Amino acid sequence: MDSQKITEDVTHSWYEGTTHHPFDEETVLAPFKEGAYSWVKAPRYEGEPYEVGPLSTLLVAYASGDSKVKEMVDGVLSEFDAPVSALFSTLGRHAARALQCKLVADSMVDWVLQLKPGEPTFLESSVPDVAQGAGFWEAPRGALSHFIKIEGGKIKNYQAVVPSTWNASPADGNGQKGPIEQALMGAPVEDEGNPFELARIVRSFDPCLACAIHMVTPKGRDLGEFRVS
């Protein structure tokens, strides 16, 4: 994974600007922007949308030959007499989340035994005058990354690219839709007045729009009155 290949597109998002790497990105609201329909930006890796979360991590581990993961996944699939491709579904996402919980629970015994009583619980640090850096880790919902620039010993720019931003992203400038939008395309709906099938698909991603939206508005900027529905 090359972090320099991560960008965020705002073609259809209510923000000003174009496509930038998070280090160079600003978050300026544009609530009346023509063609926009989402407060979520569109993260891309090498220009492509990616689904993140338990299903993604489980499939990567499975494809890499992780013996514990293969045993668990194959065991579940055998109950349904289904191929691995069946995981690419609403049911697959829920199954992956349950299996990931089992993997974490089983690993906690080893992790606890690695703790050494009496050792320091934190590292001393200081804020440099000029610097930039990024942190990457796997949150319960998927890939999470934070980007920071420091000048004069203070934060100049801070951007977060969170799991729900990846999954709930709108279409980008090339018309590529995000994972949730792709999953909804062509989904059968029995009752258009109560499309609960669509709600089930969206919820299988465990989205958190409060996490996906990070608003920063420069001081003194007058946005006028607007409503979001």
Residue that is last in its domain, among 113, 138, 161: 113
In this structure, are 94 and 70 located in the same domain? yes
Is 84 among the domain residues?
yes
Q: For strand 142-151 and strand 154-161, is the pairing parallel, antiparallel, or unpaired?
A: antiparallel
In this structure, are 80 and 173 located in the same domain? no
In this structure, are 101 and 195 located in the same domain? no
SS3 of residue 169 by DSSP = coil
Q: Please give the mean pLDDT across all residues of the chain.
A: 91
pTM: 0.88
In this structure, are 7 and 101 located in the same domain? no
User: Which of 92, 91, 90, 101 has the alpha carbon at shortest distance from 59?
Assistant: 92
In this structure, are 159 and 91 located in the same domain? no
Q: What was the pLDDT predicted at 173?
A: 96
Is 203 among the domain residues?
yes
% of the chain with per-residue pLDDT over 70: 93
What is the mean predicted confidence (pLDDT) over 39-45? 96
In this structure, are 13 and 108 located in the same domain? no
Q: pLDDT tens-digit profile of 53-97? A: 999 999 999 999 999 999 999 999 999 899 999 999 999 999 999
Is 217 among the domain residues?
no
- Would the pLDDT of 224 be above 90? no
Chain center to CA of 184: 18
Q: What was the pLDDT predicted at 163?
A: 96
Q: What was the pLDDT predicted at 209?
A: 84
Is 228 among the domain residues?
no
Q: pLDDT tens-digit profile of 23-33? A: 998 888 999 99
Give the whole-angstrom CA distance, residue 31 versus residue 39. Answer: 9
How many domains in the chain? 2
Residue that is last in its domain, among 82, 113, 144: 113
SS3 string, 94-130, reads HHHHHHHHHHHHHHHHHHHHCCCCCCCCCCCCCCCCE
Is 12 among the domain residues?
yes
Q: pLDDT tens-digit profile of 140-181? A: 999 999 999 999 999 999 999 999 999 999 999 999 999 999
Q: Name the token pair of 178.
A: 């995000």
- Where residue 212 falls among pLDDT bands split at 50, 70, 90? confident
Range of the domain at 70: 54-113
In this structure, are 44 and 88 located in the same domain? no
In this structure, are 163 and 138 located in the same domain? yes
In this structure, are 37 and 143 located in the same domain? yes
Is 223 among the domain residues?
no
In this structure, are 78 and 189 located in the same domain? no
Give the whole-angstrom CA distance, residue 27 versus residue 35. Answer: 18
Is 134 among the domain residues?
yes
Give the whole-angstrom CA distance, residue 185 versus residue 77. Answer: 25
In this structure, are 44 and 69 located in the same domain? no
Q: What was the pLDDT predicted at 216?
A: 53
Is 222 among the domain residues?
no
Q: What was the pLDDT predicted at 26?
A: 84
In this structure, are 31 and 60 located in the same domain? no
